[in-house]
Structure 1
Amino acid sequence: MTYKSSVLEDLAWRGLIFQTTHEELDQALLEAEQAGEGLALYCGFDPSADSLHIGNLLAIFVLANFRRHGHSPIALAGGATGLIGDPSGKSDERNLLTEETITKNLEGISAQLREILDRAMTLHPETRKAAADAGEIPVVNNADWIKPWSFIGFLRDVGKNFRVNTMLQKDSVKSRLEQREQGLSYTEFSYMLIQAYDFLHLYRETGCRLQVGGSDQWGNITAGTDLIGRMESNEKKAFGLTFPLITSASGQKLGKSEKGATYLAPERNSPYEFYQYWVNRDDADVPRFLRMFTFLPRERVDELSGLVERGENRGEAQRELAWEVTRLVHGDEGAEKAIRASRMMFGEKIEDLSDAEFQAIFADVPSTEITREQLEAGVPLFELFVLTGLTKSNGEARRLLDQGGVYVNNTRIDDSGYVVGVSDLVSANALVLRAGKKKYHVVSVS
């Protein structure tokens, strides 16, 4: 389909449009762009953890792209809906979180949303249609307007606009009802009403006319557009747009690994771990990920994609993808640290790391623990090589040194009398030995 509005044309090129509720959305966006006003839209984020994860990035990029085209996105953090749990795309009812946990989680994800969406406006100005200074993006909490409702009041004024037979046809409900053992609780069944009312509230209070979300949100989004159609004069139509749910070429859910979800907060997953997630993407995924998860000019995306398609890619495309996504989430400084950490695993000098950064880089490297008293007294290097199992004897360690294969923190050691001490620590409590080109061993201090 050909779009007239710049934002939908861009999103279509990026593969970020799955469905829209009305063809008139394109015209409404075009008119808003031509008027220089921008259309207000929103996307909801679930506060099920104190950090967003890679699975949330597509929604963030969709909001960021709208903003870069001059529109006015709102991020909604579900302080009310988070207390219930969205059944969409879930096979089981999740454990309900306490209000205290939800409040803590809201603080974390709200700060992330503001930071990332603001940073998105500074990247690649050559592909941005709007001014960089677009003001602070609103991050709202639906608990502010849902909690004042009484149960009877909500059923009377909002619930009467929904038909159960229509709700039962929504995919998020049908899929769960077909699982006879699990079923669907009334709590989860009511989620759709609250999300629909969120859209109505924002429509009334902010002029928000568009809700965006993953394709599994289609039923909830159309419930909102239907509710607005029933309760408002509908002079200005409300719209919905969904983006596809992304899996890798191997069928794995985006952001998932053997260790679980990859989070955006550096306290949960370091910039190095985040960077490595993207560096390790399969060639088959890289061209579409460059479109979806970067603001690179199309010419550069085509150039990198061409390397992949011709079989000439030697990791350049993955490294540029990883750099772009990491700098968006963690800033240039975080991305540079991640690259530097990556180089350390390929021989660059290891130095000036926090314990958290060190652990992220060398988590899978064998380790041996010694006491701080031992290190302060000094440990002969050959003894340490034997203790860690890098060599079987001092004689083998000496021969390895004569061959230029003994390293402390990736610095080659030529002195057979070298004594390892506190000054060799590269973080507060660790250093790294290396035998030959690839055999690493961590020495941690207790």
Structure 2
Amino acid sequence: MTLFEELKWRGLIDNVTSPDLEEKLNQGGMTFYIGTDPTADSMHIGHFSSLLTAKRLADHGHHPLMLVGGATGFIGDPKASGERNMLTKETLEHNFHALHEQIERVFGFEMVNNLDWTKDITVIDFLRDYGKYFNVNYMINKETVKRRLESGISYTEFSYMILQSLDFLHLYEEKNCTLQIGGQDQWGNITSGLELIRKKHGNDVECYGLTMPLITKADGTKFGKSESGTVWLDAKKTSPYEMYQFLVNSEDAKVIEYLKRFTFLDKEEIDRLEECVAQEPHLREAQKALAREVVTFLHGSAAYETALKITNALFKGNIRDLNADEQRDALNSMEKRSLQEPMDLASMLVTTKIASSKREAREWIKSGSIQINGERVKEETLMIDPSHVLVDDMILVKRGKRNYYVVSLTRETE
């Protein structure tokens, strides 16, 4: 397959600004950029596919520029739900340096910051040299603005399109950057940048835009949220074990799509895994491959092996075989229930709402369905107290084969 054919097969092309881009991509040698604003101090799993697309282009001989928007971060890209909260200069600076380190370490891309070329632009310069090229009717018909017209949009966020267009213009002029890539929600901003370049340098300029489809779950909702929140690429915010669990629980209906977008596995291997999903979905071989590839790429093989060790220990009920850090990692990823004081097992199950009634709790205990820290318990009068704390203030409760809970004993015995 050519590069363009592979991108299409992997489902990574939503739209392109010109059919000529196909040949350009296949030839290699383009300088392109992908951008993100420092709204957090880590990228998340939703960014990962876009970054991998940039790496696929880099591996084919193109030169990537990673723009972290030190300037556009002050403004905020309009979102459908309403105005963004303005971040402080200190927060943006912290986030910028964190993202710079993360992206450079994981991907090795050349980094650029749009604050470098916008911080000295005066209001008059902005209006005369750039704003003059933007028709208001054109701007309000862009999807990112149109979806906010009824609820209202500030001039600050309305002007974001101009700032991002200025980025493409600057990188074209200073680094011969002729391609911008981004998610499909960036189509309006990308095409606006192309228009600005053409108005400044003529219609025969060879510059392009490419957007990638947003990644969703089977129900159409946004991909990248676990029960505990956003799945981050930073191991301190989402541990390799938590990421492994998130990915290994991917839906059968979506896992092949995720394998195409999130891994470098070839077509032959992904076709084999697709057959496994169809014939033996209970083995979850495709999900395990997805989790292995992503965790290893981001955090290394040792982190993947630790994630696998924790997973296997929990499955076999051998939580005590893990060291304290591994136990903490496992328990922090689970749903937590608070227990204010020691009490008998049956009462604890009801108080923490693991069981709906004392009768249900007693039935579970009697049938051997309840485990405490990996050990089956059949005594409903067993006192759950600080002696049962596994690590920190946490006690692991398992019901049946798949239901795990962490009970946090927040107050010790008088």
Question: How does the TM-score come out when normalised to structure 2?
Answer: 0.83
Q: Give 1:43's match in structure 2, choosing from 34, 48, 51.
A: 34
2:70 is the alignment partner of 1:70: no
Q: Which position in structure 1 is the counterpart of 2:274?
A: 305
1:268 Cα deviation (Å)? 2.2
Summarize the Cα distance change of 1:211–1:370 in structure 2 as closer, same or farther, 3 Å threshold. same
Letter in 2 for 1:108: A
Q: Distance in 2 between matches of 1:173 and 1:20?
A: 21
Letter in 2 for 1:23: P
2:177 is the alignment partner of 1:208: yes
Q: Give 1:19's match in structure 2, choosing from 11, 15, 27.
A: 15
Contact 2:198 2:205 in 1 (8 A): no
1:334 Cα deviation (Å)? 2.2
Contact 2:13 2:211 in 1 (8 A): yes
Structure 2: runs of 5 or more not aligned? 351-357, 378-383
Summarize the Cα distance change of 1:362–1:254 in structure 2 as closer, same or farther, 3 Å threshold. closer
Summarize the Cα distance change of 1:25–1:444 in structure 2 as closer, same or farther, 3 Å threshold. same
Further displaced range: 150-159 or 345-354 = 345-354
1:31 Cα deviation (Å)? 3.3
1:25 Cα deviation (Å)? 1.3
Partner of 2:162, secondary structure, is: helix
2:77 is the alignment partner of 1:108: no
Partner of 1:73, secondary structure, is: strand
Q: Which position in structure 2 is the counterpart of 1:133?
A: none
2:189 is the alignment partner of 1:189: no
Q: Which position in structure 1 is the counterpart of 2:329?
A: 357
Partner of 2:210, secondary structure, is: strand
Summarize the Cα distance change of 1:305–1:349 in structure 2 as closer, same or farther, 3 Å threshold. same
Summarize the Cα distance change of 1:443–1:17 in structure 2 as closer, same or farther, 3 Å threshold. closer
Contact 1:352 1:426 in 2 (8 A): no
1:362 Cα deviation (Å)? 4.3
1:153 Cα deviation (Å)? 0.9
Summarize the Cα distance change of 1:297–1:363 in structure 2 as closer, same or farther, 3 Å threshold. same
Structure 1: runs of 5 or more not aligned? 33-37, 118-135, 372-382, 414-419
Contact 1:367 1:388 in 2 (8 A): no
Q: Which position in structure 2 is the counterpart of 1:239?
A: 208
How many pairs are equivalent?
Answer: 393
Contact 2:277 2:285 in 1 (8 A): no
Letter in 2 for 1:195: Q
CA displacement, residues 115-151 of structure 1 (integer Å, 9 cap, x when unaligned)? 332xxxxxxxxxxxxxxxxxx4112111111111111
1:218 Cα deviation (Å)? 0.7
Contact 2:182 2:212 in 1 (8 A): yes
Further displaced range: 328-337 or 182-191 = 328-337
2:46 is the alignment partner of 1:28: no
1:431 Cα deviation (Å)? 6.2
Q: Distance in 1 between matches of 2:394 and 2:67?
A: 42
2:221 is the alignment partner of 1:252: yes
Q: Give 1:318's match in structure 2, choosing from 267, 287, 298.
A: 287
Summarize the Cα distance change of 1:404–1:363 in structure 2 as closer, same or farther, 3 Å threshold. closer
2:92 is the alignment partner of 1:98: no
1:276 Cα deviation (Å)? 1.5
Q: Distance in 2 between matches of 1:176 and 1:388?
A: 49
Summarize the Cα distance change of 1:220–1:268 in structure 2 as closer, same or farther, 3 Å threshold. same
Q: Which position in structure 2 is the counterpart of 1:130?
A: none
Letter in 2 for 1:183: G
Summarize the Cα distance change of 1:216–1:408 in structure 2 as closer, same or farther, 3 Å threshold. closer
Letter in 1 for 2:324: L
2:249 is the alignment partner of 1:280: yes
Q: Distance in 2 between matches of 1:345 and 1:17?
A: 39
Q: Distance in 2 between matches of 1:384 and 1:424?
A: 12
Contact 2:183 2:211 in 1 (8 A): yes
Q: Distance in 2 between matches of 1:31 and 1:236?
A: 18
Q: Which position in structure 2 is the counterpart of 1:128?
A: none
Q: Which position in structure 1 is the counterpart of 2:354?
A: none
Partner of 1:285, secondary structure, is: helix
CA displacement, residues 283-332 of structure 1 (integer Å, 9 cap, x when unaligned)? 10011111111111211100011222345452111111111122222222
Q: Distance in 1 between matches of 2:399 and 2:206?
A: 68
Partner of 2:34, secondary structure, is: strand
Give the percent of matched residue pairs that are identical in Structure 1 and Structure 2. Answer: 41
Summarize the Cα distance change of 1:70–1:443 in structure 2 as closer, same or farther, 3 Å threshold. same
Q: Distance in 1 between matches of 2:100 and 2:182?
A: 17
Summarize the Cα distance change of 1:261–1:439 in structure 2 as closer, same or farther, 3 Å threshold. closer
Question: How does the TM-score come out when normalised to structure 1?
Answer: 0.77
Q: Distance in 2 between matches of 1:72 and 1:47?
A: 22
Contact 2:142 2:188 in 1 (8 A): yes
Summarize the Cα distance change of 1:405–1:53 in structure 2 as closer, same or farther, 3 Å threshold. closer
RMSD: 3.5
1:238 Cα deviation (Å)? 0.9
Q: Distance in 1 between matches of 2:313 and 2:37?
A: 37
Partner of 1:227, secondary structure, is: helix
1:442 Cα deviation (Å)? 5.6
